[in-house]
Structure 1
């Protein structure tokens, strides 16, 4: 296990760049919004989860992001669906652990029906369900 980190440390550098997204709880500018491109009657996405500026594991040999005289970090702050997916997967695992007989459709239904309604797209005629882990989801 050469990637074992006993004392994880991350360096967060100050930036002068203005982010293109609004702080939470806004849907990121790069996120997909419904209705589906394939069918106007199909609202997508099914659920929204945190995926902006997530501190995540990173390839330790990426020296491009390391400050001078510092070893490359094993962590990085990144954004995207690859960051929101683990949040949904974790909730799915909790739902499954409390309901071992649930199949994929039942797990998806439990996540979707216990999420919080949020209207992040006021110019759209729908609201979005946001991931939420409560006693109801289990």
Structure 2
């Protein structure tokens, strides 16, 4: 059973979002997503300074099973990436909610409010099972 922290927001594409400042958000993949992928072997992160739109593919997580696009749940500028994942991508399997991928300075904070809360996300993944 996947862990779903109640203090995060979720996208239907299985990314989690944690507001890290009034207009910034850290993004990673959910525990459910990492379970579906299996052992993560490589992570391709977006470039700092890149402008992204909500729903745009901007990173890739590769596992022994498949490669999966990671979508930005919010629009804005990439202001940081978790460079430690380059040498240790398995951190995503060990702690999906601690291994953030990138941080976005949001251009529209209302997009955060449109994301799923933990209960709705739980219903989404249970419906997919």
| Larger RCO, structure (CA 8 Å, separation 6 or more) | 2
Q: TM-score, normalised by structure 1?
A: 0.22
Report which of the two has the higher share of strand: 2
Q: TM-score, normalised by structure 2?
A: 0.23
